[in-house]
Amino acid sequence: KMTGYTREELIGKSALDFISTKDRSSIVKDINKIYTEKQDIPLTYAFIAKDGSASTIEVSSTLLHDTNGNSSGFIAVIRNNSN
C-alpha cells in the first residue's frame, strides 16, 4: 500500500529505486556501515511512491549470519514515519 506499486511491478526492482536520489549515497554508506561495524543502526530516508509523492520512512535492520558466523545479508523492517 505504501508504494502504490503492485506486487508484480516490484519484482526485479532494487530498494534504491524507491529512495529519493538525495538519500541514495547515504543509504549505500549506511549499509556498508551495518556490515563493517556489525551493529544495527536506525535509519531515516525519503521514500518515493509510484505517484511521485515522498514520505519519510524509518528503516530498522538486523545483520544476518551464516552457520560460520559470517555476515550473509540483512533483514529490514520499514515504517512510514509521515503523518
pLDDT at residue 1 tops 70: no
| Burial (CB count <10 Å: 0-12, 13-18, 19+), residue 9 | exposed
Cell of 64: 544476518
φ, ψ (nearest 5 deg) of residue 51: -80, 5
The model's pTM = 0.69
Q: Check pLDDT > 90 for residue 66.
A: yes
The helix, strand and coil proportions of the chain, stated in percent and rounded to the nearest 5, come to: 30, 35, 35
What average pLDDT does this structure show over 9-35? 87
What is the predicted pLDDT for the residue at 67?
94
